[in-house]
Structure 1
Amino acid sequence: MEFLIISGLSGAGKSRAADMLEDLDYYCVDNMPIALIPKFAQLCMAASERYERVALVTDIRERASFEELFKVLDGLWDLGCDYRILFMEADPANIVKRYKETRRRHPLAVPGISVEEAINNEIKLLAPVRERADYIINTSNFTLGMLQSELYRLFVGEDTKRKIVVNVMSFGYKYGIPLESDLVFDVRFLPNPFYVSELREMNGLDAPVSEFVFRSEETKEFVSQLQKMVRFLLPLFVEEGKLSLTISIGCTGGRHRSVAIAKAMTDYIESIGYAAQNINRDIQK
């Protein structure tokens, strides 16, 4: 079992990191009291098949907490828990800017102390934890995508393009555009198999329908251009930290043209190394 403890400066992105780790199949708990960590670790170890990766966020606001934390950490070794510490930090100027943007109060801010002073006090306070950290991430100039990539590098070590799942969904405009759509393409300009009597009761997954749709030069050109666009966009979405993308392709009823195009795009996306799944929302309607 992987057991990760996330600590660090307020405003440096601890909770955001936990959210991203959750997308990487970690079981995450925010604001875990130090005293509960040993019991929590024991429960996770007892059900290690269910909790293969665990991450928890813990804050230390008082100097007296260090002795308790380090005692707990030493106890984790005695339990046979192989833990790691991720320490999140950022330059004081960046943290000040984040607090001004969110208008939240720094947890160490008290009357008569500025945000800058509170941050500097926290840096000194957390220095012992930083010294024991296995990983340190400075998020000063990080975008969300950069933080996502760094977490991938540290805790996954796989090609990031494998971690975005592309849902290619066909739909019928008469039933509405899927709410989960990120990109929507209208293929109602393509030749419609509905008006060919022997094709009407089939759908876009049937070879005769697909062949009819792709016989058109407009279809071939459209799909070629769409493939180029998707190939260009996917690395940018990955860099941004997006883990799921829904490409919706619509025709009138969602049974013929959109289904055939969605299937072709799903096959193409898989062929260039991304995980893709084909969803035909209205094919049975």
Structure 2
Amino acid sequence: MDIETDARRLVLVTGPSGAGRSSALRVLEDLGFEAIDNMPLRLIRALLEDPGPRKPMALGIDPRNRDFSATAVTDALGQIAAIGHAVPELLYLDCTTDQLLRRFSETRRKHPLAAGERPEAGIARELEILNPLRTRADVLIDTTDLNVHQLRTEVEHWFSGGDTGRLSVSVESFSYKRGLPRSVDMVFDCRFLRNPYWQPSLRSGNGQDKAVADYIAQDPRCGPFQNKVHDLALWLLPAYLDEGKSHLSIAFGCTGGQHRSVAMAEALAARLRTADWQVSVRHRELDRRKKGEIKA
């Protein structure tokens, strides 16, 4: 995106304390956004009307501000769009309660909404305030299993380049044993396909390995499944784009999240790239395996 536009790009960044809002703002600043954290909502309009350089802006907002509420944020987004000074987007950084507690414990920080209480109370209070914005978000990034480098990759995927006329697609694999990803639009179950886990020579591999992918492809149901999913995705993506959606996430799940779902995600991503769609791929369980959180 050309950062000198008549209607500048404006990203409001929010989410529970500890989910990575400050880190996301730093990434956006590196991408050329003017970044301001802890921005009172009442000052946004005046900021946009300032005659200074019309760079894209990223504003961190959170319940610490006295004028913050889900209704106030929604109203602000509508008012910004109506006056035409900016194209507003809401980026929500999500995270599970257990991981937020772990992060506060590791840093020994007090929760900003529970100065004299345990962090659990502040987290619960903040999530209750933020929940309506989670469903309203234009982009939702679940940081539960992300390190700072992976978070940077996710933010860069959604906001670098900035061609608002294109649809960005994220394809993910996951294990049903660990639950569905919290921020996906479409989910496909791969557990009916033959499982390489039961082949000793393939068990330690993953769906990115040719031998594993070839073994799965020998299942007579694999080819038709892939074709139907690929055709459905290629048929739906232009429709989502026509409706003004700028981001779409698709996930494939299997039992362990190592073999079948990985192979199907890689196949769809390759097909979409060939059709000239902007695609990023993430394999949730493989990432955890690399970090040593789960064993091979």
- TM-score for the superposition, normalised by structure 1: 0.50
Which residue matches 2:194?
191
Which residue matches 2:279?
276
Which residue matches 2:264?
261
Partner of residue 30 from structure 1, selected from 24, 44, 47: 44
- Offset at residue 31 of structure 1 (A): 1.1
Unaligned segments of structure 1, at least 5 residues: 7-16, 46-50, 56-85, 89-155
- Offset at residue 207 of structure 1 (A): 0.8
Q: Classify the secondary structure of the residue corresponding to 1:270.
A: helix
Q: 1:158 to 1:181 in 2, by over 3 A?
A: closer
CA distance in 2, matches of 1:230, 1:238: 12
Which residue matches 2:212?
209
Counterparts in 2 of 1:1-285, with a 5 A limit? Answer: 2=4, 4=6, 30-32=44-46, 37-38=50-51, 41=52, 45=53, 52-53=55-56, 160=165, 163-283=166-286, 284=289, 285=294
CA distance in 2, matches of 1:3, 1:262: 36
- TM-score for the superposition, normalised by structure 2: 0.48
CA distance in 1, matches of 2:284, 2:200: 23
The one-letter code matched in structure 2 to 1:32 is: A
- Offset at residue 4 of structure 1 (A): 3.5
- Offset at residue 263 of structure 1 (A): 0.3
Q: Classify the secondary structure of the residue corresponding to 1:208.
A: helix
- Offset at residue 37 of structure 1 (A): 2.1
Q: 1:26 to 1:3 in 2, by over 3 A?
A: farther
The one-letter code matched in structure 2 to 1:30 is: I
Which residue matches 2:121?
none
Q: Is the 8 A contact 2:164 2:246 kept in 1?
A: no
Q: Classify the secondary structure of the residue corresponding to 1:210.
A: helix
Write the deviation string for residues 15-67 of structure 1: whole angstroms up to 9, x where unpaired.
xx8569xx998759831179x825xx1xxx5xxxxx74469xxxxxxxxxxxx
CA distance in 2, matches of 1:243, 1:237: 8
Unaligned segments of structure 2, at least 5 residues: 13-27, 36-42, 59-81, 85-160
Q: 1:280 to 1:3 in 2, by over 3 A?
A: closer
Question: Taking every aligned residue pair, what percent have the same amino acid on both sides?
Answer: 31
The one-letter code matched in structure 2 to 1:166 is: V
CA distance in 2, matches of 1:228, 1:3: 36
Q: Classify the secondary structure of the residue corresponding to 1:282.
A: helix
CA distance in 1, matches of 2:210, 2:174: 19
- Offset at residue 259 of structure 1 (A): 0.3
- Offset at residue 176 of structure 1 (A): 0.5
CA distance in 2, matches of 1:198, 1:157: 44
Write the deviation string for residues 103-154 of structure 1: whole angstroms up to 9, x where unpaired.
xxxxxxxxxxxxxxxxxxxxxxxxxxxxxxxxxxxxxxxxxxxxxxxxxxxx
Q: Is the 8 A contact 1:165 1:276 kept in 2?
A: yes
Q: Is the 8 A contact 2:169 2:250 kept in 1?
A: yes
Equivalent residue pairs, number: 167
- Offset at residue 210 of structure 1 (A): 0.5
Q: Is the 8 A contact 2:176 2:254 kept in 1?
A: yes
Q: Is the 8 A contact 1:26 1:54 kept in 2?
A: yes
Q: 1:30 to 1:206 in 2, by over 3 A?
A: same
CA distance in 2, matches of 1:157, 1:207: 34
Write the deviation string for residues 222-281 of structure 1: whole angstroms up to 9, x where unpaired.
000001100111011111222211101000000000000000000011111110011100
Write the deviation string for residues 69-124 of structure 1: whole angstroms up to 9, x where unpaired.
xxxxxxxxxxxxxxxxx965xxxxxxxxxxxxxxxxxxxxxxxxxxxxxxxxxxxx
CA distance in 2, matches of 1:172, 1:200: 15
